[in-house]
Chains A and B, each alone.
Chain A
Amino acid sequence: MAPTAVKSDVDVPEATPWRDVMRRVATDIAAPNAAVADQTASFPTRTFDALRHDGMLGLMVPKSLGGQELGLRSIADLCAILAGACGASGMIYAMHQIKLSSLVAHGMDTDYHRALMRDVATKQLLIASSTTEAGIGGDMRVSNCAIETAGDRVSLTKQATVLSYATEADIIMATARRNPASAGSDQVLIALRRDDYQLERIAEWNTLGMRGTCSEGFVLTVTAGADQIFPKPFHEIAVQSMLATAHVLWASVWFGIAADALSRAHASVRATARRMPSDFAGPLPGATRLAEATAKLQTFKSTLIAHIERFEAAKRDEDDLSSNSFTVEMNNLKIMASTMAVDVVREALMVTGIAGYRNDGAFSVGRHLRDVLSAPLMVANDRILANTAGLVVASRFDPGLE
């Protein structure tokens, strides 16, 4: 059977008017409200009100269900633009899109999920994700909690130790064991609307950065319809849509943060240049470092785009999508992007100096640095490397340049 994957897109970011819409939201709303979300660790409500108002939450939904059927490359571009203005907003937007991509890729054959997608597009519903759970050490591919079924109804209680923007979301997509007798890795994914669950807060979110994501801990208590469970096992959903989309969109968010930090460094070097006498013979302070960091950002961009294209190509072939080598490539994207993003922001700080170290002012990169330091930790790079290590040994080595 042909995979019901997201259809391959050939659009480029410039081809959509959504980029201009996102730029406006980023500049007019997200940027001026970023400091408040950061300082008070509060959800960027105004930014998401604006995104909803402009119809930005359902862009990935197929046209037949009221969406715009926007491809991953365009969504990645939108994430980067928003993240440049407010890292937390960019990450929330990306997390929403990651869950939506699973709905689009794996929910087209079931009435419940199609209706849900239609509502995401027409009512601009925000989707949160509950994969993390107490006692599983951060491994998304294992669950403790289990679905209990009674007729056509199911129930679930999950110790969701990290559940980003849970109280602001309209939908939560949660993983659980298929039933109480299932192994930890025999997981399903269930889509829940607000009426299907209750949240009891068990942990605060007081972190170095990404404070506006409000990734607090909750006990998630669910009673829902059995038809809300995706027919595909979660491990297939994870491998075929979720992991690659997550790595691409997270990388886009980190790119946006790094690019904005570097643009501040650029502006700061220009400000220095303005003060110099016109017969100044150089070298201009910070310019060499700026050049190095710009080269890094360029490599980051090329690699990210290459991986998006790689993912789009793999979507046409379910075997490729499920292959070890594809997983290795996407894991490598995560390692590269999280490392480079931190490097670039740190270089931007060195260029901007004390003005960059400040939490205020046009050259401040303080929030950028705190936000981007989450990158190597959210799914820890060490865990990903360990996972990749096993896969690399089991894969055929590819020495080619084709």
Chain B
Amino acid sequence: MRDRVRAIVGSMNLLPVPVDSLSDQDSLFDAGMTSFGSVQLMMAIEEEFDIEFPNSLLTRKTFATLDGLNSAVEQLVSQKA
């Protein structure tokens, strides 16, 4: 799952740097992701995992790092199961 999230970020041309140069804790925003980019990322992740982010998870914190995304996705996928 973590690989899939990382692969989505890498495939979307969200960042001026390769995603592999970032750790799971590095800030995606500091690496150049725009706020619009985070919206697109949210929609791509929803589509990939067939989930919907509730408002409570639609925060800057969720989208700031791969770690944040991973834990949100894990939570939503396990709720769905």
Residues of chain A having any CB pair with chain B under 8 Å = 270, 273-274, 276-282, 284
Contact = CB atoms under 8 A, between A and B. Distances in A.
Contacts, number: 26
Where chain A touches its partner, the secondary structure class is: loop
Contacts of A282: 36
Of A270, A273, A278, A284, most B-chain CB atoms within 10 Å: A278
A278 B10 CA distance: 12
A277 B12 CA distance: 9
B40 A274 contact: yes
Contact of A274 (B13, B34, B43): B43
A281 B13 CA distance: 14
Contacts of A278: 12-14, 34, 36-37, 40
Nearest to A271: B43
B61 to A, nearest CB: 20
Contacts of B44: 274
Nearest to B13: A278
A282 B13 CA distance: 17
A156 to B, nearest CB: 54
Contacts of A273: 36, 39-40, 43
A2 B13 CA distance: 70
Of B12, B36, B43, B44, most A-chain CB atoms within 10 Å: B36
Interface string B26-49: 000000001011011001100000
A270 B43 contact: yes
Of B13, B34, B39, most A-chain CB atoms within 10 Å: B39
B4 to A, nearest CB: 18
Nearest to B41: A278
A284 to B, nearest CB: 7
B37 A279 contact: yes
Where chain B touches its partner, the secondary structure class is: helix
Contacts of B40: 273-274, 276, 278
Interface of B: 12-14, 34, 36-37, 39-40, 43-44
The 5 A-B pairs with the shortest beta carbon distances in the complex, nearest first, are A278-B37, A278-B14, A278-B13, A278-B40, A278-B12
Contacts of B14: 278
Contacts of A270: 43
Nearest to A284: B36
Nearest to B14: A278
A281 B43 contact: no
Given A278-B12, A279-B34, A281-B34, 19 more contacts: A270-B43, A273-B36, A273-B39, A273-B40, A273-B43, A274-B40, A274-B44, A276-B36, A276-B40, A277-B13, A278-B34, A278-B37, A278-B40, A279-B13, A279-B37, A280-B36, A281-B36, A282-B36, A284-B36
A277 B40 CA distance: 9
A268 B27 CA distance: 30
6 contacts: A273-B43, A274-B43, A279-B13, A280-B36, A281-B34, A282-B36
A301 to B, nearest CB: 15
Contacts of A279: 13, 34, 37
Contacts of A274: 40, 43-44
A279 B38 CA distance: 11
Contacts of A281: 34, 36
A263 B35 CA distance: 22
Nearest to B12: A278
Nearest to A283: B36
A270 B53 CA distance: 14
Contacts of B39: 273
A277 B36 CA distance: 10
Contacts of A280: 36
Nearest to B39: A273
Nearest to A275: B40
Nearest to B16: A279
A271 to B, nearest CB: 9
B67 to A, nearest CB: 21
Nearest to B36: A280
Contacts of B36: 273, 276, 278, 280-282, 284
A188 B25 CA distance: 73
